[in-house]
Structure 1
Amino acid sequence: MMNTTLVSDLSDLEVLSPSMNLYLKPFAKVNISVSLPMLKVAGQAISNWEVMEKLRNMCSPHHFTLLRVAKSTLEFVRFEGEVENKTLVPTFVSMLDGKHIKLSGFSGLLKVTCGESKINFPSRHDWDSYFRDSKEHDETQPGERPDTVYISNIPCKFFMSKSGSTVSSDMIVQAFIVYGDIRNIDIPMLDPYRTDVQSAVPSNFRTFSYGSKLNFEAYIQYKEYIGFDKCMAALRGKKLVLKESDGKAIAATIKVEFDKTKHLSAKSIAHRLQEKKKIEKLQKDRERQKRKEKELEEKRLLAEKMKELQQKKEQEERRRKREEKRRKKQEEKRALEEAEKLAKRIALEERKLLLAQRKLESIRLLSELLDRVKASAQQAEVERLEREIARKAEDERKAKEDEEKRRREKDLKRKLKLEKKEEEMKTRLEQRKREGDFRKDQKRRKHAIKKLNPKEPLMSSVHKSSKSQS
């Protein structure tokens, strides 16, 4: 499960490793409780989504980076909200604590209580009392005293090696050495045999899965108590933040505890190493046994293949003999059929020849008869053709006469039409000539009037001219 979120407010970041772009950001969480009314109608329900929307609107213009339901009962609903900056927590508390909200479908108001979330993180008293009171730990030995920090839910992306294939332990050392010298470090995710080793270790050891998660866990053991104490104090109530090359910042909610399992004690390391050697030896034995079984299987398969090839060869030989025998039978049968066909063909050709001879004789007899009939028929045909030619010549003569008559009538009509058009054109020309003479006469009159009295209006001149003419 991914536990990362994008961060927009970077004002409260604390530097962890500038070279790796790693920072720490304080938690900014609030707990919100909403009292629920008694449900009087069967089937009536309260929408947590509606309640969250009401809470978001009450905090406007501020907003939650995360708001989720932490607990839900018939009496109340508890929400857990995260904000951008720890300095905003009092603002959210003042905006929500003691307020009321109204939900659709309910007549009464729902009371809201809000307060800052307490940090679930071990204190110095916790680990001091644990190791002091424990009879199974020897505080003089590394790994059995407060010197090992256990961190889980770390995104692999934050400490990925340059090859991008796995988590780099050197990068973890580089990041956390700022709090003190590191004696030892263990990342279970990097050990492919850890899943087999865990079956041989005591039940209080945690289980791991190799390469199956997006997050990993790490044990960091410091040489001095002061380094352990600084690391726990620095990580108390903090998120791990990575600044990417594109300017975006990703925050991861990591879980930090002090180690109670003696994970990096000498006995545990030796025990894991011993179990690892046993598993490696067992693995080698298994691989050797698998190779032998594989070789035997290959030999067996080769023998079976050779046997199959021999069987196929024998089957092919038997098949070839059967095919040869079948081919000979088919050739004999085909030869016999060819002989029968040839005999039938010869008999058929002989019969065809006989029929052709008879047909030829019949044709000769018919030709002679037809020649005689043809001679008499030709004479009648000649007479008929002569009559037909005479008739056609008469028809052609009559047709030519009719055509000549129609041509003369057509020429006469065309001549009359042309004469009519010529008469019309003459009439039009005479009319146009009279109109042109009239226009010229008018122009001469106007010109003469202008010469006689150019200052008088045109109509007065025309009137005077008409009077003088009268």
Structure 2
Amino acid sequence: MSYRDDIPMLDCGEEAEPFYLKRGVHIVPIYALTLIVEIPIRAPGQTFCNWDIREKLKTFVHPHELKDLKVIESCNEYIKFTTHVLNIDIMDEVITLLDNRTFRAPGFESVLKVLVRVGGYPCPKVEDWQKHFRGKRLKEDEPGERPDTVYVAGLPYEWFAPNIGDDVTSVMLEVMSAFGKVRQIDIPQEDPYRSDMEKDIAGLRLTWFNGSFSPFFEMYVQYTDYDGFFAAMTKLGGHQLVRRTASGVLSEYQYTLEFDKTGHLSNRIMIQRELARQCIIHRRRKEAEEKAQKDAEAVVELKKVNKERNNIENKIKVVIEQAGRQRECAEELLRKKLKDKKRHQANVRIQESENLLKFLLVDEVVRIEWEKEQRKRPADKIKEYVKAKQLPGEDDLRQKLMKKREAEIRAEVAKRKFNPNPSSKSDENDQLPIADNIKSDLTAPTPYDAHQRRKQMLRDCRSRRRKLLKEVGARLQRYRTKFKEEPIFDRLKLAPPEALKKSININIKTTNLSVNGVESQSNNAS
């Protein structure tokens, strides 16, 4: 495929010259214009804006475009702008539209006038390098110390070496050889050690944001003879790069062209640069070795730290496991204690309930027994008392009393028969034994007296029972208030008194109640 088939054609006019045909890059002259806007006299304190004037100038040449229109000088009398256009035809039209044109702008009472001058783009000329090297003793036999090196900056990588693996040095050597035989070429951006060198020998003039990779590069081209140098300076001076992309957009870049004033490619600077490169390589190698050693030491230290950390973690894990086992044992012991406590509390409540039930049922048993005693007839009670005391029968007792009384009467009759006139004092002495006997007979215990004693004992029991019930009710009320409807009885305080303690057997299923010791108590009472 030919160049004309894969590279879009330019419409910049006949002035476009090929620069790098493989990528469709051309150079075209920069048609520079200088616009001078004369400012009329204005009142003190009156202000204006250069931006408004700049926008006015752009509208006057529409639909043409004024590229890179910027202010280069401003004073009270005039404002100087510089710009350029694409080709000479557009330049002629712009001159026709703007030269000697008057207009009004905000901030001015009078009109402003525009003057157009051709040129104004800075470009080195023969007089410039002759003047520079005239003050020095030219060394025709030493390259770099004479006018033979061209400095070009601002060339885009994308147009000459779009891929990372492309050798931009060989590409530019091929391009610049079109003007003459090249002795050597130097691109500082291609040297990885150049950024660490001193500025006067590094040759780096382009800077980019934060030191990152720049999309532009610069180069120093040294020709073997003056003719090549002169041809490059004259052909490239006052031109710019243009290229039409595959999408049809016409792109252009302005590069900077100068002759080398620093002797960048002279033997003196090259030797210094080579020594600086070797020093940098040695320093970087030493830094790499030190870094590798530090990294190795850091790895050893890290392994040691990791080992210590693992040991500490293992110890912590063991301690945590021991603490966990201890906690489990403590929790198990606590659960066991709580279980035993609940069991003990339940047993205590059962015992207290039984004690309270016994205490409440004792009086009931006593009452039942008393009612049984009351229902018995007096004769039966007397018989039971006599039987319990093992006393003689009533008939035998009556006979004995009658015999005793009969004997006493007989003795008294006999005394009166043998002593018919006894004195009163003797009579009284004789009558005392008989009175004492009668009194002892009258005061002797009878079954009726036993019955009265039983009634008195029953009344005492009832009174004691009422007192105990009242005291128990007060205690229960106190405990219910304290424990909030959870009655807990004190078995020691609620236990029946010693006088009423009896062994009671309760069978809840059969509802049988048996009391030991009641009969004996009843018998003793009777």
TM-score (norm 2): 0.60
- Contact kept in structure 2, 1:131 and 1:139, CA below 8 Å: no
SS in 1 for 2:334: helix
Equivalent of 2:40 in 27, 37, 40: 37
C-alpha distance in structure 2 between counterparts of 1:65 and 1:264, whole Å: 35
Measured after TM superposition, the shift of residue 360 of structure 1 is 9.6
| Matched ranges for 1:309-348 at <5 A | 309-345=310-346
- Contact kept in structure 2, 1:68 and 1:79, CA below 8 Å: yes
Name the counterpart of 1:221. 222
| Matched ranges for 1:204-353 at <5 A | 206-207=204-205, 211-345=212-346
- Contact kept in structure 1, 2:42 and 2:108, CA below 8 Å: no
- Contact kept in structure 2, 1:198 and 1:207, CA below 8 Å: no
Once the two structures are superposed, residues 106-139 of structure 1 have per-residue CA deviations (whole angstroms, 9 ceiling, x without a partner) of 332222211112342222233234334313x522
Measured after TM superposition, the shift of residue 346 of structure 1 is 5.9
- Contact kept in structure 2, 1:36 and 1:77, CA below 8 Å: yes
Name the counterpart of 2:26. 23
Q: Which moved more, 1:262-271 or 1:346-355?
A: 346-355
| Matched ranges for 1:434-449 at <5 A | none
Once the two structures are superposed, residues 252-290 of structure 1 have per-residue CA deviations (whole angstroms, 9 ceiling, x without a partner) of 111101111111122222221221111011001011011
Give the residue type in structure 1 aligned to 2:189. M
- Contact kept in structure 2, 1:25 and 1:239, CA below 8 Å: yes
Q: CA RMSD in A?
A: 3.3
Give the residue type in structure 1 aligned to 2:27. L
Give the residue type in structure 1 aligned to 2:130. D
Residue 14, structure 1, aligned to residue 44, structure 2 = no
SS in 2 for 1:257: strand
Does the C-alpha gap of structure 1 residues 321 and 133 become closer, same or farther in structure 2, counting only changes over 3 Å? same
SS in 2 for 1:80: strand
SS in 2 for 1:217: strand
C-alpha distance in structure 2 between counterparts of 1:50 and 1:252, whole Å: 27
C-alpha distance in structure 1 between counterparts of 2:91 and 2:21, whole Å: 28
Name the counterpart of 1:185. 185
C-alpha distance in structure 1 between counterparts of 2:263 and 2:85, whole Å: 37
For structure 2, which runs of at least 5 residues remain unmatched after alignment? 1-8, 358-505, 512-526
TM-score (norm 1): 0.66
Name the counterpart of 1:48. 50
For structure 1, which runs of at least 5 residues remain unmatched after alignment? 1-6, 362-470
C-alpha distance in structure 2 between counterparts of 1:123 and 1:258, whole Å: 10
Name the counterpart of 1:169. 169
Measured after TM superposition, the shift of residue 175 of structure 1 is 1.9
Q: Percent identity?
A: 25
C-alpha distance in structure 2 between counterparts of 1:232 and 1:192, whole Å: 29
Q: Which moved more, 1:313-322 or 1:64-73?
A: 313-322
SS in 1 for 2:152: strand
SS in 2 for 1:178: coil
- Contact kept in structure 1, 2:188 and 2:203, CA below 8 Å: no
- Contact kept in structure 1, 2:188 and 2:204, CA below 8 Å: no
| Matched ranges for 1:65-464 at <5 A | 65-104=67-106, 106-135=108-137, 138-163=139-164, 168-198=168-198, 201=200, 206-207=204-205, 211-345=212-346
- Contact kept in structure 2, 1:156 and 1:167, CA below 8 Å: no
C-alpha distance in structure 2 between counterparts of 1:346 and 1:99, whole Å: 121
Give the residue type in structure 2 aligned to 1:33. I
- Contact kept in structure 1, 2:37 and 2:113, CA below 8 Å: yes
Give the aligned length: 351
C-alpha distance in structure 2 between counterparts of 1:167 and 1:249, whole Å: 26
- Contact kept in structure 2, 1:64 and 1:83, CA below 8 Å: yes
Does the C-alpha gap of structure 1 residues 261 and 342 become closer, same or farther in structure 2, counting only changes over 3 Å? same
Give the residue type in structure 2 aligned to 1:286. E
C-alpha distance in structure 2 between counterparts of 1:120 and 1:349, whole Å: 118
SS in 2 for 1:333: helix
